[in-house]
Amino acid sequence: IRWRSTSLSPGDGVRITMESALTARDRVGVQDFVLLENHTSEAAFIENLRKRFKENLIYTYIGSVLVSVNPYKDLEIYTKNHMERYRGINFYEVSPHIYAVSDNSYRSMRTERRDQCILISGESGAGKTEASKKILQYYAVTCPASDQVETVKDRLLQSNPVLEAFGNAKTLRNDNSSRFGKYMDIQFDFKGAPVGGHILNYLLEKSRVVHQNHGERNFHIFYQLIEGGEEDLLRRLGLERNPQQYQYLVKGNCPKVSSINDRSDWKVVRKALSVIGFSEDEVEELLNIIASVLHLGNIQYGGEDSGNAYITTDTQIKYLARLLGVDGLVLKEALTHKKIIAKGEELKSPLNLEQASSARDALSKAVYGRTFTWLVNKINVSLAYKNASVIGLLDIYGFEVFQHNSFEQFCINYCNEKLQQLFIELTLKSEQDEYEAEGITWEPVQYFNNKIICDLVEEKFKGIISILDEECLRPGDASDITFLEKLENTVGGHAHLTTHKLTDGKTRKVMGREEFRLLHYAGEVNYNVNGFLDKNNDLLFRNLKEVMCMSDNKILTQCFDRAELKDSRRPETAATQFKTSLAKLMEILMSKEPSYVRCIKPNDAKQAGRFDEVLIRHQVKYLGLMENLRVRRAGFAYRRHYETFLQRYKSLCPETWPSWQGKLADGVSTLVKHLGYKPEEYKLGRSKIFIRFPKTLFATEDALETRKHSLGERESHVSHAVVVQAWWKGILACRRARRRREAANTIRRFIKGFIYRHNERCPENEYFLDYVRYSFLMKLRRNLPKTVLDKSWPTPPTALIEASERLRKLYMQNMVWGYCKRINPEWKHQLEQKMVASEIFKNKKDNYPQSVPKLFVGTRLNGEEINPKVLQSLGSEKMKYAVPVTKYDRKGYKARPRQLLLTSNSAVIVEEAKLKQRIDYAALKGISVSSLSDGVFVLHVPTEDKKQKGDVVLQSDHIIETLTKVAICADKVNSININQGSITFTMGQGREGIIDFTSGSELLVAKAKNGHLSVVSRNNGGI
Ligand SMILES: Nc1ncnc2c1ncn2[C@@H]1O[C@H](COP(=O)(O)OP(=O)(O)O)[C@@H](O)[C@H]1O
Ligand SMILES: [Mg+2]
């Protein structure tokens, strides 16, 4: 509820705004913990959270820090209307929201020209990533934009699904857990439009590529590809649509997650990739890599435990060679050998089973990890922009404690210590320091400074990371256990570290022998040292690197640089790299003005409406929220340098307007007294004014707004403005008049042209005729026939009839040519047979039309359905076609099941193992069928031939196909007689038989009373 009044004096405006700010609060609990009666009570704090959570009020402030509780359900608070409501509104006037924080940062960036950052923290599943997405959406919707900006906005938004596909996975804590840290700068130009971005990524959890804990999954992209990838894509990649087939996907035994739809996510990701600007080739190469990782996982080794390993799965190597663009043999060798350089000579030594498996896994991890980094860089290129103000978003893994905690949790939790340190530096400590420096009296707040833990981890020479590196680099028999021992010997006495050996009975019971325990600011975590050295070394054998450097895949050539092979220095260890990148991140964050979003997870079951008090109390504690609140309550919400404050608000007081001549502090004092600030609302320090409540400041801001309006009207530059305005209006009017003139001319020319359209070309109709031609050609372009069969064509104007005819011919020829070029040999063969069928039967036999859409098959009987003895007796004669038929005896017309085989020389009639009759094509006199839709036909043979027992009467269910084949094989296209009514045939020994054809409702073949064979075919009978 903003107060806009010109009739009241500024002082009244201030009062009324303050009132409304106080009453605009949510009705449930307090919307700012600062307003809690008993602000030191944790119970009261949690009670307030609970009350609000019950009413779906998931956001609450502590001063300017936003506390957010994951609702685990979709709330109707992220609509465009909500965004509008928070736009340009002071923090305290509407209920707390992530949009308020977003808007506040945005406005500070615009008005104070200072870079901002929003730090989102909380444990895994607390809603950090969702919060960062909401912020991004808010900017995308509410910030001003131009055309070019639209694409950047889309890219910014679409970078999320891509990064999530490749960097997120289902864990026990969160179905969509970010397995990498992300800091994203959103860049804004001087108009406040988002124009670019930049992403920094931190420590992808690569080990997930090769192993997942029970109930967890690998990165989403693998499942998306397998579930959503199109058939021919999967075929090209050599993948099956079943995640259970892949060793790298079965470890967690959890291929499907109810909250995730891999198939539709796949579509989203494919679209996002093209919005971001990935070319089709790049996508193809990217997917080749993803598929390769799955194939790598399925490589299996044979060999004794101590003997040399060899690869038992050659198909994988074949696919890998193709997908990665490398030599299969070289890859095979690199996966089973290692190259050592000894005394300047290269030696190859074979690997045993275990070494080979871990070399393979190392390759998978390296390939995936580096591809991920490539992906981030690629996105950065598409978002690149220079010279901008920025708002940074930090969404980084929250504090993590599992049953088994390894190197990754160590790094993640170290990162959280650093962020807590930053939070302390920036809020608690700097707050207190400032009061001290300004000579303001206040009670110091006790808080736990976690610097001691950061030092324990990162200190040079003495810190855990240094000790770990030393073990990694030391020659000799260093192992995870010697690392643990070294920890005990060097930092064993530290108050925040203990091990199984060092601790006492009670703790010892809950610790493994291979564990060390860190007392983090957030709580205790036991880390198992198993794998620490390997993960920190992150080694990939030299020859595997060499193979990757030789790849044809353009992404891999960027990921594996040949220069790396020449560099003989040891690469930095994983922990040290992480430490360095964190230090850089801290620098970036320090240079910006921070806002905080502290996310809380209400329960471990990912359930809506459940408020697990124990879990929440723990988070409130380790997020330091109570300390935060105590400092806020003791302190002042806002502070400004005297000079800035006076400069901004001097117009609100007659004594300070238009300028104040005395000391700054006195000016400010006069000003605030005039504004009616009460003594408890502010304090004056050495160089700054401190304002206790934000609402006081906001009220002053509103008064200023009101004042600006009234000032604007009175001042003398009004007349100057009028002059400028008049000129500008004049220019606009001239432009409008010119455009109107031009439009009138166009219309006039058009009408004239229409009148003279039948004359010879002349200046009057030139414009019109050209227009008609042009529009016909344009129309033609839009309405070209799509297929050879489409005979439509737009009607041309008279002047273009000839041209149109020629174009049509050319276009048809072109389409036909294109069609022919696309035909493959099989289809060509099919069409040739159909042509023959058409020549023989079209308009002659009733069931021909039904046969047209059905494809002719190669044969109706395959090898196993024909008796081997028959095949044997056919010897070397090639079988062309076989079909089951019914034969009608010459005597009595009994129906017998037979097979008709067409070989290269003859038609053969077979009864199971017996070759009943063989008709050489040369001897085949002709073939008779009826014109109706029955399947009966007669093969005529010479009567003189004593070997033959007379003509053969057969029936086939595929008459058109069968006879076409016979015609082609026997070269008798012209010897097929199609008869109306009846067929006469010879029965041997000069006797004659007759078949009568009629049509009826039911197919019937039987001997009639007159001794003829009567065939009744159905009106729309079979083919
Ligand atoms: N504001 C919200 N509204 C609705 N659901 C949410 C919200 N924040 C988080 N969630 C739910 O919680 C899940 C975990 O959130 P996410 O942001 O991925 O956690 P984090 O990044 O902290 O690990 C999301 O997938 C979503 O289902
Ligand atoms: Mg996340």
Residue 124 annotated among the catalytic residues of the structure: yes
Residues with CB under 5 A from ligand 2 (ion): 129, 178
Nearest-CA residue for atom 9 of ligand 1:
127
Does 127 carry a binding-site annotation? yes
Pairing state between β 497-499 and 345-350: unpaired
- CA–CA gap between residue 711 and residue 717 (Å, rounded): 11
Please identify which of the residues 68, 70, 102, 124 carries the catalytic annotation. 124
- Among candidate residues 454, 395, 462, the one with its CA nearest the CA of residue 424: 454
Does 838 carry a binding-site annotation? no
Mutation choice for ligand 1 from 56, 77, 98, 130, CB with most ligand atoms inside 8 A: 130
Beta strands in 830-975 (DSSP E): 879-888, 895-903, 906-911, 914-920, 926-930, 936-940, 952-956
Looking up tokens 């174009």, which residue turns up?
Answer: 807
Give the residues surrounding ligand 1 with Cβ less than 6 Å away: 70-75, 122, 124-130, 174, 176-178, 398, 599
818 burial class (0-12, 13-18, 19+ CB within 10 angstroms)?
Answer: exposed
Please identify which of the residues 129, 159, 288, 706 carries the catalytic annotation. 129
- Ligand nearest 123 Cα, by number? 1
Q: Which residues pair with 985 in a beta bridge?
A: 993
Residue 818 annotated among the catalytic residues of the structure: no
Nearest-CA residue for atom 3 of ligand 1:
74
Cα of 167 to ligand 2 centre, how many Å? 10
Does 512 carry a binding-site annotation? no
State residue 571 phi and psi, 5-degree precision.
-65, 155
Residue 125 annotated among the catalytic residues of the structure: yes
Mutation choice for ligand 1 from 132, 174, 202, CB with most ligand atoms inside 8 A: 174
Structure tokens at 279: 């070319």
Please identify which of the residues 398, 667, 935, 993 carries the catalytic annotation. 398
Looking up tokens 């465009």, which residue turns up?
Answer: 80
Does 998 carry a binding-site annotation? no
DSSP-derived secondary structure letter, 692 = S
Please identify which of the residues 160, 174, 656, 804 carries the catalytic annotation. 174
Residue 715's pLDDT is 57
- CA–CA gap between residue 642 and residue 683 (Å, rounded): 12
Does 124 carry a binding-site annotation? yes
Residue 400 annotated among the catalytic residues of the structure: yes
Residue 694's pLDDT is 66
Cβ atoms of 95 and 573 closer than 8 Å: no
State residue 148 phi and psi, 5-degree precision.
-65, -35
- CA–CA gap between residue 169 and residue 192 (Å, rounded): 35
- CA–CA gap between residue 270 and residue 225 (Å, rounded): 10
Mutation choice for ligand 1 from 67, 72, 597, 619, CB with most ligand atoms inside 8 A: 72
Does 55 carry a binding-site annotation? no
Residue 945's pLDDT is 64
Non-local (6+) Cβ contacts of 288 within 8 A are: 237, 323, 324, 553
Residue 726's pLDDT is 83
Cα of 174 to ligand 1 centre, how many Å? 8
- CA–CA gap between residue 373 and residue 391 (Å, rounded): 22
CA angle 139, 142, 144 (to 5 degrees): 95
**pLDDT, mean of each 10-residue run, the chain (1023 residues):** 33 35 55 81 94 94 91 95 87 85 93 90 92 95 79 91 97 92 93 92 93 94 96 96 95 89 96 95 96 96 82 91 94 90 81 92 96 96 90 88 89 91 78 81 76 95 95 89 95 94 88 94 91 91 92 94 81 92 94 92 94 93 82 73 87 88 92 91 89 78 79 62 83 93 92 89 88 92 88 88 93 91 90 93 92 91 87 85 91 89 92 88 91 92 74 92 93 90 83 88 84 82 43
Task: Kindly report the pTM of this predicted structure.
Answer: 0.65
Cα of 599 to ligand 1 centre, how many Å? 10
Q: Which residues pair with 977 in a beta bridge?
A: 928
Residue 387 annotated among the catalytic residues of the structure: no
Nearest-CA residue for atom 8 of ligand 1:
127
